Structure 1
């Protein structure tokens, strides 16, 4: 362990403490400690103390240079020791870094939690009395790249996920001096222990069959096995991709989206009774009752032309929307819709609204991935599994 020695004038120290504010005293103490620590590091690097003659000496002292170092208490001016060959670098500084790591991480954490870079600079100024540029804060987020990439590429072959939820949302990205929309694909899942987990994400140009196939292939390359059920909206390209990439997997059309699609085809007036009967179908306890209630509704309103479009939508999507009924009753509320994924999308949207337009595709992947990773660690990982 490095031993540090300080020579202090007690009377001078007493006067400084009494006549100065505590912030100035703390800053001076930290400067003293860091300067002395770097001096000892140089001695260890040279393998010789000051004015010591030694055959093991590696290099010679070459004075000092001043360097600013930003911490949570403000900006400090340190005397950094140097050597003649210029190869010595004190451990106080990460190479080319001018902020301590705790300070850097706090700024990155603010960005991930939805604070704009402009507000971050304002907060830093209020707390530390120092200015940092917006571009500096933005550059700090690049430190997230290896963390997000490792998480997004982690193996999935050590856990079986019987239920997978998928959806895509659109975000704006600058590309070739234009602002374009990019689709962000997100997949979450339920484990056999009934715990939620975010599987991964992908940013692509559009939402279509080929892009969904690519996303599923990426998940499979990490070890994902075919689930029992994939829950999503009724995007046609997505349906085809599920059939191709997951052999033996059933598709569950989101119950909430489906009912909304049916209700949109109903007239706004004089439709209270049929709306009630549709809700009754999906509130049934058994799949047989659901089918019976549907037949009853169809028979009653089949001749009424103003309900024709709604009944057609109901008939075409009905079986795909009740696949969840094939599974245990206690788990059905958790797999009949994509509501859990919609809630996650809201967290992404909350952060995205602050950014508005991402400067490039990598920045979109980085930030959305950081939000998902943060949500996994702070919400899903701490949530208890439900019993069935």
Structure 2
């Protein structure tokens, strides 16, 4: 199995755990891991796996009972295995108190980093006082997949999001003994109370119309209603998918991406005033003012050949970049760009730079999904304060 080195600041990680609402991710992870370990410990005690005939068997399984365990992050309920004669007792509870923080850190690390088995193995060995195989830890990690999948497939018909933000980024994944690029699709939404929520995640081979269409269809199947406005960059396939799947929805071109496209058509020197005049257009407080500043810009620089291509880009995409003016003024500053989604991408990229190459697509989905779940919990915790 491929081993991947993580360089994590455990002090910072511990601070994040103690100051964050990570109940959904970490508690579920801890329950899965501890239940699975106790199951393995019973197998070892019996000297026989389930339904296995063995002359060395010392006792028989006799179901489970529930027992609560209080952690520093709250109470969890475990499914404790027992034997017919009652002599088996998991070592977990007597050893757990001194390892509480270590396990919490380990679970967070496993969820957020998704693909590291070595560090989790070390913590479980400390906790349980015996070695465990890499395959055992890998199987535990895979048991976290349903948690992420349940979150990624949750219903979206409980709330209406009039404003959607869509973007894609590329990661490296090992597939069929080769390293390939894959596109990570993410969509977030904002409701009328300006609350943002991560709505969708998908990993596909390439960013294309077909992939965006399938992504949107999946969101609609989960109950997503057509929004008033979708904010994104100008990827042709994405634009086409928005038009086909969200009938009657307007498209807002991300002004940050758009201005960058304009700047790329300018010469490298003596353009400070030109850039200031472009920015002035997008500092307007009304659609009429924005159009006036645009025409003023074109009139001022129309005779300068070095600015001609920039003017062409501006004219071609200007109307699509000011669609936010059709929405209530109180939402304008939230609708001009995909910056909030870009910040999410940066968090993903920060982890991805450590990993470099994901061992498979599922591990990438697990990592990114868990990271997005953690982000949701952090935002929820901030709103409660």
Q: Give, in angstroms, the shift of residue 113 of structure 1.
A: 3.6
Query: Residues 289-345 of structure 1, C-alpha deviation per residue, up to 9 Å, x if partnerless?
Result: 110010011011112111111111111111111111222223211111001001111
From 75, 87, 100, give the equivalent of 2:61.
87
Q: Look up the match of 2:34.
A: none
TM-score of the pair, normalised by structure 1: 0.71
Q: Give, in angstroms, the shift of residue 90 of structure 1.
A: 5.9
Which residues in structure 2 correspond to 1:239-258 (within 5 Å)? 239-258=239-258
Distance in structure 1 (CA, Å) of the matches to 2:106 and 2:160:
37
Distance in structure 2 (CA, Å) of the matches to 1:289 and 1:127:
65
Q: Is 1:204 aligned to residue 178 of structure 2? A: no
Q: Give, in angstroms, the shift of residue 123 of structure 1.
A: 6.0
Query: Unpaired segments of 5 or more residues in structure 2?
Result: 1-37, 39-44, 49-56, 66-79, 84-89
Q: Give, in angstroms, the shift of residue 127 of structure 1.
A: 7.9
The answer as to whether partners of 1:82 and 1:88 remain within 8 angstroms in 2 is: no
Q: 1:162/1:66 Cα in 2 relative to 1: closer, same or farther (>3 Å)?
A: same
The answer as to whether partners of 1:114 and 1:354 remain within 8 angstroms in 2 is: no
Q: Look up the match of 2:287.
A: 287
Q: Give, in angstroms, the shift of residue 112 of structure 1.
A: 2.9
Q: Give, in angstroms, the shift of residue 66 of structure 1.
A: 8.6
Kindly indicate whether structure 1 or structure 2 has the higher relative contact order, using CA contacts under 8 Å at least 6 residues apart. 2
- Matched position secondary structure for 1:168: strand
Q: 1:136/1:273 Cα in 2 relative to 1: closer, same or farther (>3 Å)?
A: same
Distance in structure 2 (CA, Å) of the matches to 1:177 and 1:98:
41
Query: Residues 100-143 of structure 1, C-alpha deviation per residue, up to 9 Å, x if partnerless?
Result: 89776652311234495445556667888766565554432212
Q: Is 1:235 aligned to residue 209 of structure 2? A: no
Distance in structure 2 (CA, Å) of the matches to 1:133 and 1:369:
26
Query: Residues 225-246 of structure 1, C-alpha deviation per residue, up to 9 Å, x if partnerless?
Result: 1000001111010000000000
Q: Give, in angstroms, the shift of residue 150 of structure 1.
A: 1.1
The answer as to whether partners of 1:164 and 1:187 remain within 8 angstroms in 2 is: yes
Distance in structure 2 (CA, Å) of the matches to 1:107 and 1:367:
14
Q: Look up the match of 2:260.
A: 260
Q: 1:219/1:99 Cα in 2 relative to 1: closer, same or farther (>3 Å)?
A: farther
- Matched position secondary structure for 2:318: helix
Q: Look up the match of 1:338.
A: 338
- Matched position secondary structure for 1:283: coil
Q: Give, in angstroms, the shift of residue 201 of structure 1.
A: 0.6
Query: Unpaired segments of 5 or more residues in structure 1?
Result: 1-37, 39-63, 68-80
Query: Residues 74-93 of structure 1, C-alpha deviation per residue, up to 9 Å, x if partnerless?
Result: xxxxxxx953xx23356544
Q: Look up the match of 1:171.
A: 171
Distance in structure 2 (CA, Å) of the matches to 1:107 and 1:384:
27
Q: Look up the match of 1:147.
A: 147
Q: Look up the match of 1:306.
A: 306
Distance in structure 2 (CA, Å) of the matches to 1:169 and 1:191:
24
Distance in structure 2 (CA, Å) of the matches to 1:180 and 1:187:
23
Q: Look up the match of 1:158.
A: 158
TM-score of the pair, normalised by structure 2: 0.72
The answer as to whether partners of 1:112 and 1:370 remain within 8 angstroms in 2 is: yes
Larger radius of gyration: 1
Distance in structure 1 (CA, Å) of the matches to 2:173 and 2:82:
32
Distance in structure 2 (CA, Å) of the matches to 1:189 and 1:139:
34
Q: 1:141/1:99 Cα in 2 relative to 1: closer, same or farther (>3 Å)?
A: farther
Q: Give, in angstroms, the shift of residue 212 of structure 1.
A: 0.2
Distance in structure 2 (CA, Å) of the matches to 1:282 and 1:114:
39
Distance in structure 1 (CA, Å) of the matches to 2:190 and 2:351:
25
The answer as to whether partners of 2:112 and 2:367 remain within 8 angstroms in 1 is: no
The answer as to whether partners of 1:161 and 1:225 remain within 8 angstroms in 2 is: yes
